[in-house]
Amino acid sequence: MLIAEADEIIPNKYSLKLFESLHERKKLWSFKDASHNSLPLNQTLLWWQELLLSSLHYTQKCVYIKYENI
């Protein structure tokens, strides 16, 4: 889960409460000076690579259903 500590739209207390309520394997990336729309999204950054790897691991355990014409 990503948290922008200076988020002006979603207060951190709600993001942290959601994170704490998750019972699956989880990881929190918190960005001190980031706002809701200013997360550092450079794909060469370490956190981004960790996120992609953890997402890949998770998707291997999931079933996807593609909905069309809804």
Which structural domain range is residue 38 located in?
Answer: 2-59
Which helix (DSSP H) or strand (DSSP E) does residue 54 occupy? helix 46-59
- The answer as to whether 69 is a domain residue is no
- The answer as to whether 65 is a domain residue is no
Number of compact structural domains in the chain? 1
Interval 40-47 mean pLDDT: 76
Task: Using alpha carbons, select from 43, 32, 25, 44 the residue that is nearest to residue 2.
Answer: 32
| Per-residue pLDDT at 26 | 82
> pLDDT digits over 16-29, tens only?
999 999 888 788 88
- The answer as to whether 70 is a domain residue is no
